[in-house]
Amino acid sequence: MGEASRWHRGGTSKHKLHYRKEVEIRTTLQELLLYFIFLINLCILTFGMLNPHMYYLNKVMSSLFLDTSVPGEERTNFKSIRSITDFWKFMEGPLLEGLYWDSWYNNQQLYDLKNSSRIYYENILLGVPRVRQLKVRNNTCKVYSSFQSLISECYGKYTSANEDLSNFGLTSNSEWRYSTSNTNSPWHWGFLGVYRNGGYIFTLSKSKSETKNKFIDLRLNNWITRGTRVIFIDFSLYNANVNLFCIIRLVAEFPATGGIVTSWQFYSVKLLKYVSYYDYFIASCEITFCIFLFVFTTQEVKKIKEYKSDYFKSIWNWLELLLLLLCFVAVSFNIYCNIQIFLLLGQLLKSTEKYSDFYFLAYWHIYYNNIIAITIFFAWIKNMFLAIINDTYSEVKADYSIGRRPNFELGKMIKQSYKNVLKKFRLKKAEKDEDKKTKDSGDFAEQARREGFDENEIQKAEQMKKWKERLEKKYYSVEIQDDYQPVTQQEFRELFLYAVELEKELHYINLKLNQVMRKLSAL
């Protein structure tokens, strides 16, 4: 019982405990405020990368290259391609007309073309488009013995092991010779397979008539064969009005079952970041984000050193580590993308006669946006559950669970600060002492004697009243600043006697109630 009598031996004073509570609450509020600023900064970074013009740029480009029909055939567009014949109609029709804009709607020559096409008069075609084909070898599938006399060729599905690397057709030109990849672009994940770089490649000309002749020549010489499994059409645009790049990839997959399955990708991205004043504001938010990341990392390292293995027993600590990991990944992606843009953008724009592979830059930029989106999701998850894992909230919840009135130090702090400000500006007079007790309206004992109670019952009632007042003052008073007061031996004895007397009173009341019920039933 040594711990029970700690208060009587001069333990921690209530004033010090109250001060410790206030320091704890102030620290909690500071952490909440700091994290709220971090969330605002992260939201600015996330939505600051978006531009409403991205949607409209994708929309107009997809409408031009996907929904435009072949002249005279309203139902034939890129989405509806089902055969090789449909594919060549698209290449010589909507694709050709969509890529080359060399005159106004009144047939007047466009101004300041500088040997480049301006799609919809506003979007500069960067470099020249590229067309790439991947094939599989013959005999990449096994023919059943009963059909071997009828079937001499068999082309299986595309895999890197089945890919055809040999030259074919008119081997004098590059589109008939296999070329290895010299770019850093990732492999393409299509509907029917994963396709690597390289293949049979040719680029389009700056001249519309030359490109059309190229398409006709390839069609007549059967550039597309039974072994063809996929054809990529890649090109990039830049709109200076909204400072956006649009990287476009049209994909036609040729399954082993026959027919064609089409798909597409339109990426509108902002590769030139720091141009306007708003961009510089976003840059300052990025620096602030790195500072927050350093502060939060330092805090978690200190916690790990303090709690050691116990730190990893909480799921909320794992959430904190996951959030930090995502933040570091996002920063790494951002740095990597900026470095690659700085190194490659000048080279890609240097020559207008070659294909400019912006797909690599757009691919990693989209991944960076996805990482930021996942990061802000988990950041808000942590924010929503921050109060649940907070110690102060847990103490208040525990007080309610035992039927005890919680002591809200935060409310007292705000109320006291408000009163101090009023007093300082003399807007409120000093309050009088409200702790004086009001006199009783009558004598409890005299009233009990007049009602016929004997002296023993009156003494027991007075004793129970004193116990009740003392216990309520001890455990239910809002003036008590410490929430954890141990019970001494004497207090435990008084509580026990108080409970015994309450049990006796309850038994006495039950007897009286039974007597009344019997009298009522006899009537």
Q: What is the pLDDT of residues 106-145, one digit of tens each?
A: 777 665 555 677 888 889 888 899 999 999 998 888 888 7
Nearest to 134 by CA among 265, 235, 227, 234: 227
**254: which residues sit within 8 A by CB, 6+ positions away?**
224, 228, 229, 230, 231, 260
The structural domains of the chain, with segments of one domain joined by +, span: 17-43+283-400, 52-269, 447-474, 488-522
Average confidence (pLDDT) over 191-212? 90
Q: What's the pLDDT at 4?
A: 38
Where residue 229 falls among pLDDT bands split at 50, 70, 90?
very high
Where residue 486 falls among pLDDT bands split at 50, 70, 90?
low
**Measured distance CA(322)–CA(317) in Å, rounded:** 9
| pLDDT tens by residue, 451-464 | 666 666 667 667 76
Supply the mean pLDDT for the chain: 78
| pLDDT tens by residue, 294-318 | 988 998 899 888 888 888 888 888 8
Q: What's the pLDDT at 140?
A: 87
Q: What's the pLDDT at 401?
A: 47
Where residue 432 falls among pLDDT bands split at 50, 70, 90?
very low
| pLDDT tens by residue, 43-61 | 888 888 788 899 999 999 9
Residue entry with tokens 């802000």 = 376
Give CA separation, 423 vs 129, 431, 433, in Å: 77, 10, 16
**375: which residues sit within 8 A by CB, 6+ positions away?**
42, 323, 326, 327, 330
Check residue 109 and report its DSSP letter: B
**75: which residues sit within 8 A by CB, 6+ positions away?**
69
| pLDDT tens by residue, 312-338 | 888 888 888 998 999 998 898 888 888
Angle between helices 455-475 and 489-522 in degrees, nearest 10: 130
Q: What's the pLDDT at 439?
A: 43
Q: What's the pLDDT at 382?
A: 78
Residue 442 has pLDDT above 60, yes or no: no
| pLDDT tens by residue, 154-186 | 899 999 899 999 988 887 788 899 988 776 778
Q: Tell whether pTM > 0.75.
A: no
**Measured distance CA(68)–CA(43) in Å, rounded:** 38
